[in-house]
Structure 1
Amino acid sequence: MTCSVEEIRLSLPHIELAAHLFGPPDGQPVIALHGWLDNANSFARLAPRLEGLRILAVDMAGHGHSGHRPAGAGYGLPDYAHDVLQVAAQMGWGTFSLLGHSLGAIVSVIVAGAMPQRVRRLALIDGLIPPLGEPESAAERMGTALQGQLAQSGKRKPVYADMDRAVEARMKGAVAVSREAAELLAQRGLMPVPGGYTWRSDSRLTLASPIRLTRAQAMSFVNAVQCPAQLIVAEEGMLAQNKALLASVPFQVSQLPGGHHLHLNDEAGARSVADCFNRFFAVP
């Protein structure tokens, strides 16, 4: 399925981000946030199927065609939340809805919980809260993260001889995706370098997080959400087995067939996710 999409640049006070803009100018404003190491093409199949929405699918900082954070800066959840609010300000959207997948869903919950007066609706795909930590391991985690940061300058990203090899590597990544999904992500995620191609994403995105929220802290954001919210859980994804967590979520929860990238892997998955979200956004 195809529809017109506009490529735009967002010159924020602290960074420049790239984005795709879908839908009618008078549609409901929606900021769409992709998953870790993905890009705005994560929504290439889903966004054209969503009705009556003005969707801004952002390349999150350090991903796709967006800028990388300056030396010494990081990619923490508060940083991404700040980016979202700056994006909304540039678009002139005092209030808006959020559509998030995986990491993008986590950031969406953070924003909606911390700034509930700004968010109209919350649409989540196989993502809810970040990986959790325990208070007693905080010092050890911080030390490990700092060591990783110190060693990062000597690391180089892999170079693939051709785009097909890069696509195959993405198919077998930490979260496997279909070939078609990998090709869509590669269209926006690869860049030519001497010897072939490498990913545009900032290598610092692979660093361990220096601080993790406890379960109580993470759930405080979930419980602070005031807008209507729907969570789609992929049957073969990351959340399906965490039944205790899902039972505690005060959102509308729907489980659909497919893997973690069910909205991107194939047309059937995109259609099933769109059917759910079209009903969700149509409710007054």
Structure 2
Amino acid sequence: MKAPRTLASVPAVLSPVLQKRDPRLHGLRNLLRAAPPASLLSELKLAVPWGHIATKTWGSLKGHPVLCLHGWLDNANSFDRLIPLLPQNFYYVAMDFGGHGLSSHYAPGVPYYYQNFVNEVRRVSAALKWNRFSLMGHSFGGTVAGMFSCVFPEMVDKLILLESVPFILDINEINNMLTYRRRAIEHVLQLETNQKPSMVISPEEMLQGLLKNNTHVGEECGKLLLQRGTSQVASGLVLNRDRRIAWPELGFDYLSRELAQLVIHKLQAHVLLIKATQGFSSVRREDMDMEPLLFTINLLRTVLKERFQIVETPGNHYVHMNKPQKVAEIVGAFLQAQEVAPAS
């Protein structure tokens, strides 16, 4: 992968930011043969107690900020094909969640729970000195963005959900909550006991493994995710992500219908939900119960009224990567639309 372009000058207010290039960014260009995204401004590292949160930025430093959150096991490259097509008078920052991409792993013994990722959003906004901004999240990143928008409603003016909902509501999964909690604890203990080195895999095997495990990601998009999600060693590639991160359900917090209604009433942002025709239900299993999704959408409509809009577009769960032009049209119009007063 080609090293990032020359870092843009960063104003003094970004003093918590460490402007260093990560060594994991080098050496993959010839291996994966993917060109760097157009209009990329810089790669930044934001200091946190356990290390750093890695981010990449596009657009105008003087523009209204938009923080972009990737999906489970993905990374900030998830937005490489979409953001360059959006209005460039905004300032876009795409972050790697802890344990993903180029961000530091959590300290030994510290689990990866859903609330930790909500906490990371607050740390990033504090480091960048943002008091009010927009949030855009894909899949798991959308649930983190949604929960942050409810916990800190005064800070978020617009919320963009790409194949996502603002919280996890699944009456079937909640019955398995104790099983998931037990499995999460045992998984971490097993990793700590075994202490096996990371597996070294050839670039082609790594790509094919990704495509096999995620049929919604095409080859070109898979290469993009592996650019940031792997490091090159002498005999192949190793995954960057923390091996303690295994299955999203192990870290999720599920909301009851009653709590979901209370949470949604706290939301002040204007919300756009982009739903792909072949998304959502086919990601985890084809027989997934869609009733919780429909309940959530109806709740958003009822509570937010004119502050909520949903757009369905052809594509799958990774429509923002596979068909970025169409998604960019929808998101761009939403970002530039003049806000109306919140419903009373």
| 1:137 shift after superposition | 4.7
Quote the Cα distance in structure 2 between the aligned partners of 1:236 and 1:24.
34
Normalising by structure 2, report the TM-score: 0.75
Task: Name the counterpart of 2:137.
Answer: 100
Within the alignment, does 1:271 sit opposite 2:307 as a pair? no
Within the alignment, does 1:122 sit opposite 2:173 as a pair? no
Write the deviation string for residues 226-272 of structure 1: whole angstroms up to 9, x where unpaired. 1101010111111595444433333311111111111112xxx1011
Quote the Cα distance in structure 2 between the aligned partners of 1:25 and 1:147.
45
Within the alignment, does 1:12 sit opposite 2:63 as a pair? no
Gaps spanning 5+ residues in structure 2: where?
A: 1-36, 283-289, 302-307, 339-344
| 1:156 shift after superposition | 5.5
Q: How does 1:22-171 map to 2 (within 5 A)?
A: 22-51=58-87, 52-128=89-165, 129-130=167-168, 132=170, 137-153=176-192, 154=194, 157-161=198-202, 163-171=203-211
Quote the Cα distance in structure 2 between the aligned partners of 1:255 and 1:23.
27
Q: Which residue identity is paired with 1:246? A: I
Task: Name the counterpart of 1:260.
Answer: 317
Q: Is the 8 A contact 1:141 1:211 kept in 2?
A: no
Mean CA deviation greater in 128-137 or 165-174: 128-137
Q: Which residue identity is paired with 1:270? A: P
Count matched residues: 280
Q: How does 1:200-219 map to 2 (within 5 A)?
A: 200-207=240-247, 209=250, 212-216=253-257, 217-218=259-260
Q: Is the 8 A contact 1:146 1:210 kept in 2?
A: no
Quote the Cα distance in structure 2 between the aligned partners of 1:8 and 1:230.
28
Aligned match for 1:228, one of 251, 270, 276: 270
Q: Is the 8 A contact 2:187 2:244 kept in 1?
A: no
Task: Name the counterpart of 2:212.
Answer: 172
Per the alignment, in what secondary structure is the counterpart of residue 18 of structure 1? strand
Task: Name the counterpart of 1:282.
Answer: 336
Could you list the structure 1 runs, at least 4 aligned residues long, displaced by more than 3 angstroms after superposition. Answer: 131-141, 155-158, 217-223, 239-245
- Counterparts in 2 of 1:219 and 1:235: CA distance versus 1, 3 Å: farther
Quote the Cα distance in structure 2 between the aligned partners of 1:44 and 1:151.
35
Write the deviation string for residues 26-74 of structure 1: whole angstroms up to 9, x where unpaired. 1111110000111111000111111121000001111111100001112
- Counterparts in 2 of 1:7 and 1:136: CA distance versus 1, 3 Å: closer
Q: Is the 8 A contact 2:78 2:321 kept in 1?
A: yes
Normalising by structure 1, report the TM-score: 0.90
Q: Is the 8 A contact 2:135 2:145 kept in 1?
A: yes
| 1:165 shift after superposition | 2.0
Between the aligned residues of both structures, percent identity stands at 29
| 1:273 shift after superposition | 0.8
| 1:221 shift after superposition | 3.3
Write the deviation string for residues 133-167 of structure 1: whole angstroms up to 9, x where unpaired. 66665444332332222222326654312x12211
Quote the Cα distance in structure 1 between the aligned partners of 2:267 and 2:281.
19
Within the alignment, does 1:199 sit opposite 2:231 as a pair? no
Q: Is the 8 A contact 1:109 1:221 kept in 2?
A: no
Q: Is the 8 A contact 2:114 2:252 kept in 1?
A: no
